[in-house]
Structure 1
């Protein structure tokens, strides 16, 4: 087993949602890792294979019963001046389909640990197509609590001290990609007979939860042997299972025919008698298992959530088109743009040369901010015609160069080009109705600030605005918030959300 949050890195990346899932996480309260002073050292962790190989494990990844990849874990005993302790490295490889296109991802995670289990350094590298993201660091002396482990803190804890039925413990570990200390609570249940690679084994069932759970938390189930080795892991999201196997089994062909992560995480529309894209207002009835829809869907001028006293009746969600001429309700609180809605950042590089060249070429002569935004929206709709679903979340500068991508790439580049023209812009995460699928799929679009309101635009559609087919969950300027923190709710809605359309009003002729 490897930390479930790191597993989510790959699965969300396959959905096109790269970033950092922070469910139940708390930020490190002290400077724990140096990522600048010894850059060459942490990069060496990714390529070093020195030391004595003391353990090698192969595992299979499945989603909803379909084999989608494998994990190869190696543990090295390193007793040298440069690297004293153990080096644990895991390579996760996923191969899935997303909207019919094969997506291949690799995540290599390396943890350098003292013999007693303290984290000394880490590194990770995520590869998706031509995109490579790598980071790492070394622990600074006296700045790291000994109780904080690394990426394999749970595995290390169980190996050093196997649990007994009825026992509970708290484990803390540093999670790469999130760059946070995460705290888990482990509770050992009963011994169960579990089939591992065709053989029935008596294993201890362990429930892992966030120590500070939220409404978004789902437990992870582990099954460990008497030596504390985790042989099977089950994640509730998408029914994900990682199970011990042989090298031959792990390296076997993946089942690409049974699963499409782009389409299979959609939410069917119960009665698709209307096309909400053609409506200026629509009313939906939402039913969501285990979570109040009021806590999930955003409320504001473009969308209102009406709480229900009886969950069985569902929650009414009213979505309406917003234009510069729309009448706004005086009672609706509108959040004004912040400085971060206009500044460049790591994903929205509005100061990039190619980004600015696009903004100037398309909108330099257009004085009206809304018309300039629409011109950029429609230009990107035409120019980013190739929807490449094999990439992870690319930045605006990368998209300006490649001129390809899916909804997230359209959104970051539209935000960047609008900001380059001095127009505040942010990205929106939610669901959009897909006519071919007859249901709602994950989507990212934009809002731009025009005079006194945020107006939605969608460069993936290029319609000069949107109708009532976009269900907004969250917004972000992507300045600091991790993309996983932004998109995590989308996976939690899978298999738990029901949507029914109650009314759909076409625009007045």
Structure 2
């Protein structure tokens, strides 16, 4: 039940990739809700007509007594006028380790090699038109200046996720900013992602007159992640324990019995602090918007409908994409495909195959713990370790491997007790499969019931779970009843 760890990974990735205007060398402390959880470092070197930006971040999170160490390192090479040449990214998310190397050719094509301990993927694709790396972003910022009210569009490419994000950058006023006890006057710069699952995700940067960012902030799910400029000694000093999970739990207004969870339930959900609710419709979940900004969500624990044979035919573009492998759901990996074939042995249709995969993954992952950040399907096959995210990634990849369109879904799930809390909804991740034209839920970690409320879906990229930030910690469940 740790979909929020994917959210933390996504937030770290997003704030780390956000427009950087560039000092030659900077150390930063990484703070979560005012508690130091790690450090970041960036440098810029110009030589021989080329500019290299190097950035690294290391953080430590706690869930009770279980530590989770996350590190990200990115380097990019560009011409002195900001034209992208190449990049490298390395991510260590506990059990999961991934490296990405990309080269942009003169023909405008991007050749990428993605390595994880269990697989190597080679990809070739067009470089996104107008996308910029660190030096390009830095030069663009200098061209626009720091006059209050200036606003411009940019396209930021994140090497760690291989995603190009359209951003609106707006220059704000100068204001006094506390840099861990040192108060300085800085310009506020707001960068807002404009489309896709990250639409509305905002990073606030405070920079000096040299365009050096001295503080960055992203808020998500009631949590505040900051990077603050400081000296090297403090940046590299030991981190403090930070249990970030409790703020994401949502109390149930009443106990829900096991019997009630087997039938449809209707939830009345209302926002906190003027937040905007965003909850998806699915084959198992219907959403009705209320005039006051609240929502009524009805969840029916129906199983996928039978009768559709494998392989599925006549899929539209969306569903074809949902059968393809990607960096996390490696459905073309030999070990993943072998498990999928084992799991569906004897299945007579797509629904039965999906449910066999659900049960197979539940039994296959034998070490169910919190020490994994966000592993790929192939890594889960090898380790047989993880929590709900690893169950979902592996099951989704196995479904795709046998031709069943699958995606990951994140939301909350009811439990009568969690840690010291009773009658609580906790962040959770599971799988949706498309059968007979409907996205239906399966949950290899817990089994699907009406205690699941789906908030957002993803193809597996950790950064896409930032869309959860508009919900987690920003709503309350007022009523639970039979429809």
TM class by shorter chain equals 0.7 to 0.9
Residues 300/113 of structure 1: CA separation in 2 closer, same or farther (3 Å cut): closer
> Aligned equivalents of 1:225 and 1:409: distance in 2?
42
What is the aligned counterpart of 2:94 among 126, 129, 134?
129
The Cα of 1:140 is off from its aligned counterpart by: 3.3
1:383 aligns with 2:364: yes
**1:34 corresponding residue in structure 2:** none
Q: Secondary structure at the match of 1:248?
A: helix
The Cα of 1:450 is off from its aligned counterpart by: 6.0
**1:473 corresponding residue in structure 2:** 455
The Cα of 1:318 is off from its aligned counterpart by: 1.0
Residues 85/429 of structure 1: CA separation in 2 closer, same or farther (3 Å cut): same
> Aligned equivalents of 2:362 and 2:160: distance in 1?
31
The Cα of 1:137 is off from its aligned counterpart by: 2.7
Number of aligned positions between the proteins = 439
Q: Could you tell me whether the CA contact under 8 Å between 1:77 and 1:87 is conserved in 2?
A: yes
Q: Could you tell me whether the CA contact under 8 Å between 1:341 and 1:424 is conserved in 2?
A: yes
The Cα of 1:393 is off from its aligned counterpart by: 3.2
1:484 aligns with 2:469: no
Per-residue deviation, residues 65-122 of structure 1 (Å, max 9, x unmatched):
111111111222323xxxx332111111111124642111111111223333443332
**1:259 corresponding residue in structure 2:** 243
Question: Normalized per residue, which structure has more strand?
Answer: 2
What is the aligned counterpart of 2:297 among 317, 324, 348?
317
**2:226 corresponding residue in structure 1:** 241
Q: Could you tell me whether the CA contact under 8 Å between 2:11 and 2:466 is conserved in 1?
A: no
**1:272 corresponding residue in structure 2:** 254
> Aligned equivalents of 2:404 and 2:164: distance in 1?
37
The 5-angstrom pairing of residues 45-444 of structure 1 reads 55-79=24-48, 84-98=49-63, 100-141=65-106, 143=108, 149-151=132-134, 153-158=136-141, 162-210=145-193, 216-237=199-220, 238-256=223-241, 258-260=242-244, 263-264=245-246, 266-275=248-257, 278-288=261-271, 293=277, 296-311=278-293, 314-323=294-303, 338-340=319-321, 346-350=327-331, 352-365=333-346, 367=348, 370=351, 373-418=354-399, 425-437=406-418, 438-444=423-429
TM-score where L is the length of structure 2: 0.77
Q: Could you tell me whether the CA contact under 8 Å between 1:216 and 1:492 is conserved in 2?
A: no
Residues 141/324 of structure 1: CA separation in 2 closer, same or farther (3 Å cut): closer
Residues 68/275 of structure 1: CA separation in 2 closer, same or farther (3 Å cut): farther
The Cα of 1:247 is off from its aligned counterpart by: 0.7
185-194 vs 55-64, greater mean Cα deviation: 185-194
Residues 137/504 of structure 1: CA separation in 2 closer, same or farther (3 Å cut): same
386-395 vs 346-355, greater mean Cα deviation: 346-355
Q: Secondary structure at the match of 2:54?
A: strand
> Aligned equivalents of 2:342 and 2:219: distance in 1?
48
> Aligned equivalents of 1:116 and 1:310: distance in 2?
51
> Aligned equivalents of 1:424 and 1:172: distance in 2?
30
The Cα of 1:175 is off from its aligned counterpart by: 2.4
> Aligned equivalents of 2:451 and 2:128: distance in 1?
49
> Aligned equivalents of 1:166 and 1:138: distance in 2?
36
> Aligned equivalents of 2:481 and 2:268: distance in 1?
10
162-171 vs 246-255, greater mean Cα deviation: 162-171
**1:7 corresponding residue in structure 2:** none
The Cα of 1:403 is off from its aligned counterpart by: 1.0
Residues 250/167 of structure 1: CA separation in 2 closer, same or farther (3 Å cut): same
Residues 484/56 of structure 1: CA separation in 2 closer, same or farther (3 Å cut): closer
The Cα of 1:158 is off from its aligned counterpart by: 4.6
**1:493 corresponding residue in structure 2:** 471
> Aligned equivalents of 1:317 and 1:146: distance in 2?
40
Q: Secondary structure at the match of 1:92?
A: strand
Q: Could you tell me whether the CA contact under 8 Å between 1:184 and 1:210 is conserved in 2?
A: yes
The Cα of 1:200 is off from its aligned counterpart by: 2.2
Q: Could you tell me whether the CA contact under 8 Å between 1:162 and 1:227 is conserved in 2?
A: no
> Aligned equivalents of 2:439 and 2:172: distance in 1?
50
The Cα of 1:346 is off from its aligned counterpart by: 4.9
- Greater relative contact order structure (CA < 8 Å, 6+ sep): 2
Residues 99/13 of structure 1: CA separation in 2 closer, same or farther (3 Å cut): farther
Per-residue deviation, residues 275-324 of structure 1 (Å, max 9, x unmatched):
4773411111112355654xx2222442111221233xx22111111036
TM-score where L is the length of structure 1: 0.74
What is the CA RMSD across the aligned residues, in angstroms?
3.8
Per-residue deviation, residues 138-162 of structure 1 (Å, max 9, x unmatched):
3434748997531355445456775
450-459 vs 170-179, greater mean Cα deviation: 450-459
Q: Could you tell me whether the CA contact under 8 Å between 2:279 and 2:454 is conserved in 1?
A: yes
> Aligned equivalents of 2:356 and 2:216: distance in 1?
49
Q: Secondary structure at the match of 1:149?
A: coil
Q: Secondary structure at the match of 1:239?
A: strand
> Aligned equivalents of 2:196 and 2:347: distance in 1?
49
Residues 483/73 of structure 1: CA separation in 2 closer, same or farther (3 Å cut): closer
Residues 252/160 of structure 1: CA separation in 2 closer, same or farther (3 Å cut): farther
60-69 vs 216-225, greater mean Cα deviation: 216-225
